[in-house]
């Protein structure tokens, strides 16, 4: 299986890095940029899943256990190849 | 009296914590590798500062999933004392022993400076020898010390008197310019529900002898040792 996981800060959490990037874009003349939120993504490849488990559910478990901190972050899973 | 100082790959205040323990007490202090699975012999476990696993993924995220943390959780459940300093605080939040999370400093810069901590509660083994409202001058050294918790969690922390320390001005008042990293409600350290676990971003072990410019931090370990009957 191949999957891509996006992890990003919850809307209620301030993102000082995103804010700095937004300011930098403005400084470069891109005046229209009103908000930047910075996140990260993971490209994951696996062997066969145990017991024919649902790929999306399996990757969501990776997120809950390690890839995202549920207190401050949300995540989105895309299964690219089963 | 047995003190365990846990070492992760990338811990860099482990020996400071060990020296702090040794100089303040007759306690036996032992360095413990992150692979250790049994801490039942320890009375106090210190998770030291540093940059475990290079702060990869999130600060403290990898350390929170090492074998020794199962033993730290069991120790905390038994009512054993746990003190997490800086990276140790981040690890305690990542593993869920303490609520909330530590975000990047609002300034986006690494901060290495003295701060004033206002003691918010004497009702804990770590602060029993410190009067409420009094100030400790100790240093911070972190890039990710901006404490965050949702409004419900903050209400609970405040309602249960579990905020141990806040960043304050030299006169003891709370002012944004004396809250170096942008922590919500200027929170610098918190206690768990059982009050036997303290996590704090500042480094009391780096202000524990007059030679260091301040010995205010010694009061935290002294309180804990007294609580343990030493």
Residue A25 CA to residue A33 CA, distance in Å, equals: 7
User: A13 contacts in B (CB within 8 Å)?
Assistant: 103, 148
Is residue B163 within 8 Å of B121, Cβ to Cβ? yes
The pair of three-digit structure tokens given for residue B100, joined into one six-digit string: 């909330």
User: Which residues of B are catalytically annotated?
Assistant: 86, 203, 205
Q: 3-state SS of chain A?
A: CEEEEEEEECCCCCCHHHHHHHHHHHHCCCCCCCCCCCEEEEEEECCCCHHHCCHHHHHHHHHHHHHCCCCCEEEEEEEEEC
Nearest-neighbour CA in chain B from A33: distance (Å): 20
Q: A residues 63-82 near B, CB within 8 Å?
A: 66-67, 69, 71-72
Average pLDDT (A50-75) is 95
User: Which residue is listed with tokens 């704090």?
Assistant: B200
Helix axes B218-227, B14-24, angle to 10 degrees: 60
Nearest to B94 among A16, A20, A69 (CB): A69
- What was the pLDDT predicted at B83? 98
Locate the chain B residue with the closest alpha carbon to A41.
B57
**For residue A46, is pLDDT > 90?**
yes
pLDDT at res. B26: 64
Reduced to 3 states (helix: H, G, I; strand: E, B; else coil), residue B96 is: coil
- pLDDT at B230 exceeding the cut of 80: no
**Mutant choice from B53, B56, B57 vs A, greatest count of A C-beta within 10 A:** B57
CB B39 within 8 A of CB B71: yes
pLDDT-based confidence at residue A82 (cuts at 50, 70, 90): confident
Q: In terms of Cα–Cα distance, which of B16, B101, B1, B113 is closest to B61?
A: B101
Question: Taking each helix axis from N to C terminus, what angle separates B87-95 and B67-77, rounded to the nearest 10 degrees?
Answer: 80
Rounded to an integer, the average pLDDT of A23-43 is: 96
Check whether B29 has a pLDDT greater than 90: no
Would you say the pTM of this structure is higher than 0.80? yes
Between A and B, how many residue pairs show a Cβ–Cβ distance under 8 A?
Answer: 35
Question: Are B149 and A71 in contact (CB < 8 Å)?
Answer: yes
The answer to whether the beta carbons of residues B76 and B197 sit under 8 Å apart is: yes
- Which site among A16, A22, A41 would you substitute to test the B interface, given the most B Cβ atoms closer than 10 Å to its Cβ? A16
Give the mean model confidence (pLDDT) for residues B3-30.
89
Share of residues in chain B with pLDDT > 90 (%): 93
Q: Which residue would you say has higher pLDDT here, A30 or A51?
A: A30
Which one of A12, A16, A69 has the shortest CB-CB distance to B104? A16
Q: Are B132 and B166 spatial neighbours (Cβ–Cβ below 8 Å)? A: no
Is residue A25 very low, low, confident or very high in pLDDT (cuts 50, 70, 90)? very high
CA distance B175 to chain A (A): 20
The dihedral built from the CA positions of residue A47, A50, A51 and A54, taken in this order, carries a sign that is negative
Selecting from B106, B108, B148 the residue whose C-beta is nearest the C-beta of A72 gives: B148
B138, B204 contact by CB (below 8 A):
yes
Tens of pLDDT, residue by residue over B154-201, are: 999 999 999 999 999 999 999 999 999 999 999 999 999 999 999 999
Q: How confident is the model at residue A67 (pLDDT cuts 50, 70, 90)?
A: very high
HSE-up of residue B196 (Cα within 13 Å, Cβ side): 16
Residue of A14, A37, A67 for testing the chain B interface, max B β-carbons within 10 Å = A14
Q: Which candidate from A13, A20, A67 shows the least CB-CB separation from B103?
A: A13
Say whether pLDDT at B57 is over 90: yes
DSSP state of B63: G
Ramachandran quadrant class, B213 (left: phi over 0; alpha: psi -120 to 50; beta: rest): left
CB atoms within 10 A of CB A53: 12
Q: Give the model's pLDDT for residue B21.
A: 85
Q: Which of residues 37-76 of B touch A (CB under 8 A)?
A: 57-58, 61, 65
Question: Is B78 a residue whose pLDDT tops 80?
Answer: yes
The answer to whether B106 contacts A13, with C-beta atoms less than 8 Å apart, is: no
> What residue of B is the nearest CA neighbor of A42?
B57
Contact B161, B188 (CB under 8 A): no
Is the pLDDT score of B25 beyond 80?
A: no
Average per-residue pLDDT in chain B? 96
pLDDT tens figures, B93-133: 999 999 999 999 999 999 999 999 999 999 999 999 999 99
What b-and-e string marks burial along B46-68, b requiring 16 or more CB atoms within 10 Å of the CB?
Answer: bbbbbbbbebebbbbbbbbbbeb
Mean predicted lDDT score pLDDT of chain A = 95
């Amino acid at each position: 299986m191949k999957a891509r996981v996006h992890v990003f800060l919850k809307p209620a959490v301030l993102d000082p890095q995103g804010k700095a990037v937004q300011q930098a874009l403005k400084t470069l003349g891109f005046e229209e940029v009103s908000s930047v939120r910075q996140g990260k993504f993971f490209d994951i490849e696996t062997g066969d899943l145990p017991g024919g488990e649902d790929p999306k559910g399996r990757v969501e478990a990776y997120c809950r256990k390690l890839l995202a901190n549920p207190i401050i972050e949300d995540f989105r899973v895309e299964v690219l190849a089963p | 009296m047995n003190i365990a100082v846990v070492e992760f790959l990338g811990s860099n205040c482990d020996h400071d914590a060990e020296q702090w323990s040794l100089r303040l007490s007759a306690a036996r202090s032992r360095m413990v590798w992150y692979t250790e699975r049994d801490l039942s012999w320890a009375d106090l476990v210190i998770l030291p500062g540093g940059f475990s696993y290079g702060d990869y993924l999130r600060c403290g995220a990898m350390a929170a999933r090492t074998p020794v943390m199962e033993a730290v959780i069991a120790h905390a459940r038994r009512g054993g004392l746990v003190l997490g300093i800086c990276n140790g605080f981040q690890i305690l939040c990542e593993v869920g022993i303490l609520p909330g999370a530590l975000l990047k400093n609002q300034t986006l810069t690494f901060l290495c400076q003295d701060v004033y901590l206002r003691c918010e509660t004497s009702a804990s083994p770590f602060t029993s020898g410190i009067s409420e409202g009094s100030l400790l001058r100790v240093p911070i050294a972190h890039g990710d010390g901006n404490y965050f918790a949702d409004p419900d969690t903050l209400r609970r922390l405040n309602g249960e008197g579990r905020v141990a320390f806040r960043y304050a001005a030299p006169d003891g008042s709370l002012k944004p310019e004396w809250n170096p990293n942008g922590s919500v409600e200027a929170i610098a350290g918190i206690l768990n529900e059982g009050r036997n676990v303290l996590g704090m971003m500042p480094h009391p072990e780096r202000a524990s002898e007059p030679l260091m410019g301040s010995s205010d931090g010694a009061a935290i370990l002294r309180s804990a040792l007294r609580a343990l009957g030493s």
